[in-house]
Amino acid sequence: MKIYIILKLIVVIYTGEIESAPNSLDAGSIQLSFEQVFLSKFDGNLMYDELKRKIRNNETLNEEDTLRFIILPLTKNDDRQKFIENTFELAKEIKDDAQRNFVVAGILSATYKFIDKKNLDKIWGWIEMTDFSRLIEERKNKAIQEAIKVKEEEKIEAVNKKAKEKDMEYAIKMLRKGMEIIDIMELSGLPKAEILNLKKELTLTQ
């Protein structure tokens, strides 16, 4: 008897040069169905003109507009590199700093695999001249500091663990010599409950 597993949780987004593709994968006992989004069906020039109109008229860009900006260079167009450049130049005109930074970062992420060196250098050059560069640096420094903090905490934890193991070894030696619990507590620093547990374990192994 064969058991078929059918999943329909995958969305595949195709860039503008792809107009059709299989919407499923049959791997025997596992069958995958895709929800497909073909950016070739989006009119990139129309999207660009609409975004340009809203920006030039000082209209507020909504969440859908920011997403349009990010996928804009991936839509079907005659010259992808020129379209990336035009999209980036238009994104620089967004008045809201946070929104502009989000859009530029999104464009860079979406096009990073096929953007040419000229456009890449242009975008990074702009980033280095703005507060966006400072934000990136601050986040990088914060990540480094958090990594150092975690490392220090792990180091302290390892030292404490080693010290605890030494205290327990010391307490076991004193138990074997028949010393009183209260004296072992004072010399080892271990609580009474832990020493009694150690004593119980020693009794079981004898």
- Which pLDDT score, from 0 to 100, does residue 204 have? 62
Four-point Cα dihedral 99, 103, 106, 107, nearest 10: -170
Per-residue confidence at 1, pLDDT binned at 50, 70, 90? very low
Per residue in 164-194, pLDDT tens? Answer: 888 888 888 888 888 888 888 888 888 888 8
pTM, two decimal places: 0.53
Per residue in 47-80, pLDDT tens? Answer: 899 999 999 999 988 999 988 888 888 887 778 8
Domain boundaries, the chain: 5-40, 42-129, 137-205
Q: Percent of the chain at pLDDT above 90?
A: 6
What's the Cα-to-Cα distance from 86 to each of 67, 142, 203, rounded to whole Å?
A: 16, 33, 80
